[in-house]
Amino acid sequence: MTSIAQLQRLLKYTYGLVPIVAGLDKFTNLLTNWSSYLSEGQKGLLPMEASAFMKIVGVIEIVAGLLVFLKPLYGAYLVMVWLICIALVLITGGGYFDVAVRDLVMAIGAYTLAQLTLLSKNSK
């Protein structure tokens, strides 16, 4: 039988590693061209090039992933909020609705990690 600790560990690695990998890729664009996820209207609102903005996003994602490893409760909530924000950007940009839905589902997983972390803290 799977324990709460095993589920928490699986989610911790998932929500720690995925933001770090995605954040690092904002500097290389090996997985995708991240700037293409911004609509032309959104790019026009930025005070910098979209690629520079994506590098800032990458740093935030790396920090969020590291926080999941160091402080899972806070990190999980940060990743949850971050994923919701990304989904909202995609929805308001008028495209990538499939990715927006995926990010909202991932936000639920991050919330689940936070709740499992609370359960394990309260059971000690």
Per-residue pLDDT tens over the stretch 6-62: 999 999 999 999 999 999 999 999 999 999 999 999 999 999 999 999 999 999 999
Q: Which two tokens stand for residue 20?
A: 């770090």
pLDDT at residue 124, rounded to an integer: 66
CA distance 106 to 83: 7
Distance CA 35, CA 41 (A): 12
Per-residue pLDDT tens digits for 72-101: 999 999 999 999 999 999 999 988 999 999
What global pTM score does this model have?
0.90
Please tell me the distance from the alpha carbon of residue 13 to that of residue 109, in angstroms, as a whole number: 12
Q: What is the DSSP string of 68-117?
A: HHHSHHHHHHHHHHHHHHHHHHHHHHT--HHHHHHHHHHHHHHHHHHHHH
